[in-house]
A and B are shown apart, each in its own frame.
Chain A
Amino acid sequence: DAGITQSPRHKVTETGTPVTLRCHQTENHRYMYWYRQDPGHGLRLIHYSYGVKDTDKGEVSDGYSVSRSKTEDFLLTLESATSSQTSVYFCAIRSGTGNTEAFFGQGTRLTVV
């Protein structure tokens, strides 16, 4: 298995609180991604990174920010969590673009109450 660790694996938080999810990789891959998975929507791209300090928005980036200060870590922050952000969040890594395979973490289940 690709060396991807997501933390925490489960979290329950209150509306309005900030939340940070962490993705850590040991593969030294350049590209890292955050997706959210919701029934009926599949995986939707939130943000991605193409290098240290290089990030870009995906299709559902509102309410989320990211940071990548080291190759191995990609953080996803919900500045003020809302119930609509209750979801399962997946981190993925790729060594390149195009036809390069993405490897996924085990996911973080976030519940906002």
Chain B
Amino acid sequence: AQSVTQPDIHITVSEGASLELRCNYSYGATPYLFWYVQSPGQGLQLLLKYFSGDTLVQGIKGFEAEFKRSQSSFNLRKPSVHWSDAAEYFCAVGAGNNDMRFGAGTRLTVKP
């Protein structure tokens, strides 16, 4: 089955600084990749997704992610972080089967 690794449990960045959250996946074929965000006490909201085509995908709230097949990575980036971006971020991989697997998440803290 497919799997996802998010190496960073917790990241702290200053407001206005750039952000990169790492995601590595394991899957034998072309994966379907997703990034979700979870605010405290809430469900998950989709930020962006990738299946094919341009390897740099744009999402909501100014986020983007780049798919690198050679590195089995799908890292999430934002050029300038806002205090409202503080949340937990999950990378997920869907395969040709029915299920969707998530990473352990990265908690983002934004310093004023």
Contact = CB atoms under 8 A, between A and B. Distances in A.
Interface residues on B, range: 20 to 34
Interface residues of A, number: 27
B99 A58 contact: yes
A106 interface: yes
A43 B97 contact: no
Contact of B99 (A48, A100, A104): A48
B43 A106 contact: yes
B34 A101 contact: yes
A66 to B, nearest CB: 13
Interface stretch (A11-19, A33-41, A74-82): A33-41
Residue from B44, B98, B105 having most chain A Cβ neighbours under 10 A: B98
Given A40-B9, A42-B105, A45-B100, A105 B94 contact: no
A50 B34 contact: no
A43 B91 CA distance: 10
A48 B43 contact: no
B44 to A, nearest CB: 4
A94 B49 CA distance: 14
A41 B104 contact: yes
A107 B1 CA distance: 25
Contacts of B105: 42-43
Nearest to B44: A104
Residue from A42, A45, A104, A107 having most chain B Cβ neighbours under 10 A: A42
Given A42-B90, A42-B104, A31 B51 contact: no
Interface of A: 31, 33, 35, 40-45, 48, 50, 56, 58-59, 90, 92, 94, 97-102, 104-107
